Structure formats: C-alpha cells, structure tokens
C-alpha cells in the first residue's frame, strides 16, 4: 500500500520505496527500500550499473508506474519527464509537438502557438516552429524534446496544487549525442534550470556528466537498486567536463561504482 505524503520542504521524496515486477517466486525485485530526497531547486544525478533500477525510479516519481511499497511525494509540484529519445511526432511541426503539452488546457490555438514559441525561444530554437523533426539535427530534436518537457511542467493540467518550481525528470537525455552537442546542451540545461528554478532528477551512465551537472551524485547498487552512497559536488559553476576538478571527483565516484559492480559479480 503506497501513501502520497505531502512534504513541501522537498521537491521529491521517496521513503523506503520498493518495486517488484511479477508475483510470488517469479517476482523480480527492481528497487529495494530506496529512500531519497531532492530539495527545491536542487540538481541530483543518479548513477549505477545497467539494470539497477534508475529508469524504474524515475517512472515511479513521474506516476507512470506504482511502487510495490513505500511512500513518494512531489508535494503537488508539476512533474515532466524527458527520455533519451526525443519521441517527437514526425508528422507534426516542431511547434505542434511542443503544443501537445497543452492539449488538456483548453487553450485557443493561437495561445497554444504563442506559448510553444516561448518555450522554443527558451531552448534557442526560435524560428524553427514550422520545421518538421526530420529537418533538424539530433541535438536540435533534443532541444525540442526539452522545450516540450518544460511546457509540460508549466501546463495547468500537470498539477492541481503546484507549489514552488517544477520537477524535471531526465532519463539519459543526452546519451546518444556527440560530445560537442552534449556539452552545448549541458550549458543550455544549466541555464534553464537556474532561470526556471527547477528541481531536477537526472539519470546518466556518464560519471563526468553527473559531476558536471549535479549538486549531488547518488550511487545506486546493482539490482535490486538501493542507495549505497551520495557524493556532494561542491565545485563552482560553471563547470567543464574536461576540467581537472570534475575529472578528479569523477574518478573517485567511478572507483566506487566499480567496487559496487564487482561486489555483485557483474
């Protein structure tokens, strides 16, 4: 039995959350008593071996799935999710893809278009609203997906009692991009995160990316996933992925991650 506990001192809170797929002896324990919180305006990165339940955790916070036990709260904040693939509708224009976030808001067509244009400007894609996804580069398509997620987080239908900044859940959104495009999008995401006072929970396999972006890096164990260690990132912003400071902390976290993987025999 899961209870939605409202705690407005945190943007996201998980208390002893477990998730089992299947039933009885065939059940697969994906997450095991995960307790984790994200403060309002905090950027938290999740790291762990493949299959440790990082994506499952995001799905539970997003409300796309339900935990088997435990408590989850987003304190009534609006929640949006961004995936590794842009998942844009190819038959729609860029603007229409972003407008989908307002589909339940009963806005006039002109108002939807104006608001979509504002979010496209936010990700530096003003003037691209009439393009189709196939006309854009991979990095530009991810910018559209980010604009749509931000629009979703601002939609009046996303939450009935939003208080404070929105929660943005990101599941390896830049994993398929080249290094230069990824660095540029890191800069864009950091700018928008600050401007919009977002609380971000960001899943990645890239340790340097986690240190580059995060206020805190949370390491999950191999399946079943549970929190094994947290690393505060106390480096001044803006950061560079190739800086000595980022590389040093990333090396420490990588060593700890290797220990965890080896401990489970992977």
pLDDT of residue 239: 94
Under the banding of pLDDT at 50, 70 and 90, the label for residue 155 is low
- Residue 120 is assigned to a structural domain of this protein: yes
**Higher pLDDT pick, 52 / 266:** 52
Its pTM stands at 0.89
Q: What is the pLDDT of residues 67-106, one digit of tens each?
A: 999 999 998 899 999 988 888 999 999 999 999 988 777 7
Residue 115 maps to a domain:
yes
Q: Does 255 fall in a domain?
A: no
6 pLDDT tier (thresholds 50, 70, 90):
very low
Band of pLDDT at residue 147, cut at 50, 70 and 90: very high
Give the strand order in the sheet containing 216-220: 79-82, 167-171, 199-203, 43-47, 216-220, 227-232
Distance from C-alpha of 199 to C-alpha of 266, rounded to nearest angstrom: 32
Matching residue, tokens 């240190």: 211
User: Does pLDDT of 25 surpass 90?
Assistant: no
Q: Looking at the 3D structure of the chain, how many domains does it have?
A: 1
pLDDT at 236 over 50: yes
Q: What is the mean pLDDT of the chain?
A: 88
Residue 118 domain-assigned (yes or no): yes
| 90: preceding bond cis by omega (within 30 degrees) | no
Q: What is the pLDDT of residue 204?
A: 94
Contact between 108 and 121 (Cβ < 8 Å): no
Percent of the chain with pLDDT over 90: 67
* Per-residue pLDDT band at 108 (split at 50, 70, 90): confident
Residue 250: φ, ψ to 5°: -60, -40
Kindly indicate the confidence band of residue 23, based on its pLDDT and cuts at 50, 70 and 90: confident
Three-state secondary structure string covering 14-52: EEEEEEEECCHHHCEEEEEEEEEEECCCCEEEEECCCCC
Ranked by mean pLDDT, the top range of 6-20, 45-59, 143-157 is: 45-59
Q: Is residue 90 part of a domain?
A: yes
Evaluate whether residue 102 is within a structural domain.
yes
* Domain membership of residue 154 as a residue range: 84-158
Q: Quick one: pLDDT band at residue 161, thresholds 50, 70, 90?
A: very low
For the segment 187-234, what is each residue's pLDDT rounded down to a tens digit? Answer: 999 999 999 999 999 999 999 999 999 999 999 988 888 999 999 999
Confirm whether 128 is domain-assigned. Answer: yes
53 vs 236, which has greater pLDDT? 236
Pairing of the two strands 2-3 and 43-47: unpaired
> Do 168 and 11 meet the contact criterion of CB atoms below 8 Å apart?
no
Asked whether residue 103 is domain-assigned, the answer is yes
- What pLDDT sits at residue 242? 92
Note the pLDDT of residue 249. Answer: 97
Nearby residues of 250 by Cβ (< 8 Å), 6 or more positions away? 207, 208, 210, 211
């Amino acid at each position: 039995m899961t209870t939605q506990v409202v705690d407005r001192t945190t943007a996201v809170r998980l208390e002893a959350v477990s998730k089992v797929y299947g039933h009885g002896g065939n059940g697969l324990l994906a997450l095991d008593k995960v307790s984790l919180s994200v403060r309002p305006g905090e950027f938290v990165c999740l790291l762990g071996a493949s299959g440790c339940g990082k994506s499952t955790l995001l799905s539970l916070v997003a409300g796309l799935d339900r935990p088997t036990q435990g408590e989850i709260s987003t304190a009534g904040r609006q929640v949006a999710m961004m995936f590794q693939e842009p998942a844009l509708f190819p038959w729609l224009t860029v603007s229409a893809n972003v407008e989908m976030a307002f589909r339940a808001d009963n806005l006039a067509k002109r108002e939807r278009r104006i608001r979509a244009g504002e979010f496209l400007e936010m990700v530096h894609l003003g003037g691209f609203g009439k393009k189709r996804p196939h006309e854009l580069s991979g990095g530009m398509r991810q910018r559209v997906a980010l604009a749509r997620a931000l629009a979703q987080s601002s939609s009046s239908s996303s939450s009935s009692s939003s208080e404070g900044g929105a929660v943005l859940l990101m599941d390896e959104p830049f994993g398929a991009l080249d290094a230069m495009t990824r660095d540029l999008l890191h800069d864009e995401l950091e700018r928008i995160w600050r401007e919009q006072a977002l609380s971000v929970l960001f899943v990645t396999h890239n340790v340097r990316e986690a240190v580059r972006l995060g206020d805190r890096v949370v390491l999950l164990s191999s399946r079943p996933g549970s929190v094994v260690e947290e690393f505060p990132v106390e480096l001044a912003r803006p950061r560079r992925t190739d800086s000595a400071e980022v590389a040093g902390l990333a090396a420490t976290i990588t060593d700890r991650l290797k220990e965890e993987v080896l401990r489970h025999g992977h």
